[in-house]
Structure 1
Amino acid sequence: MEIEKTLFDAHRARFSAIDRLLPEAAPAPVAGERVDAATAAGVQVTGVVQRQLHGPDDVPLLWSAADARQLFPFIGDTGTEGMDVLLRAWRTWLDAESPGEDSSCVVNWPSRDAEAIRAFLDHGLVPMSALAVRTGGAHDDAAENDVTVRRARAEDFEEVLAMAVSTHDYIGQVATRRRSNAAELLAPALEQALDKEDPLLWLAERDGMTAAFAHAAWITSSPGSAEAELLPLGRWGYVNNVVTVPGLRGSGLGRTLMAVVHKEFSADGASGTYLYYNPTNPLSSVFWHRQGYRPLWTSWEVHPASALR
C-alpha cells in the first residue's frame, strides 16, 4: 500500500532520530486496510491495519490473541498529536466490527519514542512485549560455582517441556493469555531443537538436578527480509526462552546459564543477541536489563480489541 512520499520521508527521518540502532524504517505493508486522520493543523497521517486469525492449534497463540489487529502507523513528525488522532480514527474504524473476548489491538513501535508512548497510554494500550538487544554493560561471569551447564539431549525432552509449560503458566498471570494446550503448542519447537546434533538448548544442573534451561537460535537479518525491518543487518543470536524452576528463581542460575550462551554466540561470530520479554513480567523485566539488554521495539496492546479508547 502506497504512503505519500512526504509523509514516508518524515516517518523514516523520525525513526532515524529516535534510536541509532533502529534499521531503516520499512515501507507500508502491501496488504491491509487503510486508516486516515489529520491533525488540527491539517497535517495528514495514516496507518495500515492487518488482521491475523489464529486457530486453536496455532503456535502464535502462545503470545497472541486469537484475533489480532495490528496497526502500522505513519505519523511523520507529528508526535503525540499525530498518533493520538490516528488511534482515534482506528477506534472509530473498529466500531464497524464486533471483536470477541480473545482479540487485541496491537502497535509495534520504537521503544524510545516518548511522544508516541503518551498517546498509547491515553488510548488504553499497555507495553505487552519488547524486542531487546544486548548493548553491553554486563559481565559474563558465572554467579553460581556449583552449577554445571551442558547441551541438552533428546532424553531431556519431557523435563524441558514441563519447565516451559510452567513458565508459560506464570507469564499468563502477568502478560499473555494462559493457553490450556500450551504443552502441545510448545512441544514441536523443543523436539526440533533437540533433534539436532548440537542443539542450541542448554541445561543448568545443580546437585545432579535440572534447574534451568535456555533455548536459542540463529537468525539472519538480510536486505529485504522480515528480520531487517526490526534489526540491523547481520547474523544474530536469538534467545527464545530462558526458564528456571520456580523454587530456584532469583538464585543466579539464569545469569550462570546465559554467561555460557553469550560466550558461545560471541565465539561463533554473532553480530549481537536479541530476545523478546514482557515488560509487565516482574522477573524478566529486571533480569534482562541486568544482562545488558535494552528495548528496541515495544509491542503496545489492548485486550480485547473493543477496549481501545
Structure 2
Amino acid sequence: MIGRSRAAGRSPEVVLTELLRDQQERFTELDPGLPPAVMPPPGDVVVVGGHGDEAAGVVTHHSWPAGSAPLLWSAAEVTELHPVLGHAGRAGADALVTEWRARVPARTRAAADSAAVVTWPSRDVAAARAFLDHGLVPLAVLAVRPPGPPPPVADPDPALVLRPARDGDLEACVTLAMHEIAYSSLVGGSVLRPDAEAVKRAALRERQQRGEPIWVAERDGRLVGLLECGLTDATPGSWLAGLLPIGRWGYVNCASVLPGQRGRGVGHALVAAALPALQPPGVRGTYLYYNPPNPVSSVFWPRHGYRPLWTLWEVRPASALR
C-alpha cells in the first residue's frame, strides 16, 4: 500500500530496497556501532514524498495476550513504525509519522492499553526532532558497552557478599525484581500489572533452569541486590541482528537494589562481579535497556561504560500520537 507518494510507477518494494541502500550510508555516517540496515518485517508498506526525496517504512501491529512476559514492559496493543528514511532526514520522518498516524487501526486507537512505538538510532537528532513534534518520547534506549574491565570498586564493602543465585533465593529474587518493575513503571515503560509477580517468578525460574547467570548481593544474610544476565547471539536474519552487529553478546536483563540500600555501591559491586562472565573470548560486547527518564539508571549505566545505540520512541495510548 502506498501512502501520499509520487513513486513514478515503482513498486513499494523497489522503493524500500533503494532507500535501504541510502539508509545504510546514513547509518554509517551516524554511528559506527550500528549494524547494517536491514529490511523491515512484513507489514503495511508506506511511501511518502516524491522521487528523489522519498521516505518509506513498514507499519506493524501486535497484540500481547494476558499473562505474557512482554506485558511487563509493553502495552497490550502496539502499533510500530519501522522507518527506511534513506537520507530524507527530519522532513522524511515527519511525513512518515503523519502517514503512520492515519493508519493506526481503530482497535488500537480505541484501546487505553496501547502504544505507538518506533526504534531509531540514538544519534539521529534530526529524526528525533520529528518524533518529539509528534508526541513521541524517548522512553528507553538500547545501550552497548565494548569488552573491557568494569570501573574498579573504590571502597569495597566487606559485609557485602556477591554470588550466583541459588534455588532457595527465588522468592527473594522475585521481591527484588518487583521493586525494579514498580520503580520503572514510574519513569519508563514498565507496567505494574496484577499478575506481574507470577509472571516474573515464572521467568526467573526458567532462567535458573536454563543455567543463565543470576547474580545476587547479600548483606547480613539478606539479599539486597539482583542482576539477571545472559549470553546471546546476533545471527544473520535474527531480530537482534537488526540492532547489533553479528556475533556473541552479553546482556543485562534486570538490575535491582532494595530501597534503603541504594547509593551504597551494591549495583556497582554486582556489575563488577558479573561482567567478566559476560565477556568470554570473542564477545562483541554487552548490551542492556534503560529508561532515559530514570534518574538512577540514566546515570548509573553510562558511568559503567554503556552508551545509547538505539532509542525506543513511544507514546501511550496510541491515540495520543499527533
TM-score interval, smaller chain:
over 0.9
For structure 1, which runs of at least 5 residues remain unmatched after alignment? none
CA distance in 1, matches of 2:142, 2:306: 9
Structure 1 residue 175 corresponds to structure 2 residue 188? yes
C-alpha contact (below 8 Å) 1:138/1:292 kept by paired residues: no
Q: CA RMSD in A?
A: 1.9
Aligned to 2:174: 161
Structure 1 residue 284 corresponds to structure 2 residue 297? yes
C-alpha contact (below 8 Å) 1:221/1:233 kept by paired residues: yes
- Mean Cα displacement is larger for which, 298-307 or 186-195? 186-195
C-alpha contact (below 8 Å) 2:251/2:278 kept by paired residues: no
Structure 1 residue 296 corresponds to structure 2 residue 309? yes
CA distance in 2, matches of 1:166, 1:33: 39
1:6 maps to a residue whose letter is E
With normalisation by structure 2, the TM-score equals 0.89
- Mean Cα displacement is larger for which, 225-234 or 150-159? 225-234
- Mean Cα displacement is larger for which, 82-91 or 129-138? 129-138
CA distance in 1, matches of 2:113, 2:105: 17
Q: Residues 137, 262 of structure 1: CA spacing in aligned structure 2 closer, same or farther, 3 A cutoff?
A: closer
Q: Residues 3, 189 of structure 1: CA spacing in aligned structure 2 closer, same or farther, 3 A cutoff?
A: farther
Structure 1 residue 99 corresponds to structure 2 residue 104? no
Structure 1 residue 195 corresponds to structure 2 residue 231? no
Structure 1 residue 66 corresponds to structure 2 residue 79? no
CA deviation string 1:268-301 (max 9, x = no partner): 6532111111111111111101110001111000
CA deviation string 1:138-194 (max 9, x = no partner): 743235322110111010001100111121011111112321211122112210222
2:133 maps to a residue whose letter is D
Q: Residues 95, 229 of structure 1: CA spacing in aligned structure 2 closer, same or farther, 3 A cutoff?
A: closer
Q: Residues 307, 42 of structure 1: CA spacing in aligned structure 2 closer, same or farther, 3 A cutoff?
A: farther
C-alpha contact (below 8 Å) 1:238/1:274 kept by paired residues: yes
Q: Find the partner of 1:212 among 225, 230, 235.
A: 225
CA deviation string 1:44-79 (max 9, x = no partner): 222111111011111110111000011001111111
CA deviation string 1:185-232 (max 9, x = no partner): 211221022235x54001111222211011111111122222111111
Aligned to 1:45: 55
CA deviation string 1:117-150 (max 9, x = no partner): 1001101000111110014797432353221101
C-alpha contact (below 8 Å) 2:116/2:315 kept by paired residues: yes
CA distance in 1, matches of 2:133, 2:249: 35
Structure 1 residue 17 corresponds to structure 2 residue 29? yes
Identity %: 42
1:110 maps to a residue whose letter is P
Aligned to 1:133: 144
With normalisation by structure 1, the TM-score equals 0.93
Q: How many residues align?
A: 306
C-alpha contact (below 8 Å) 2:214/2:228 kept by paired residues: yes
Aligned to 1:184: 198
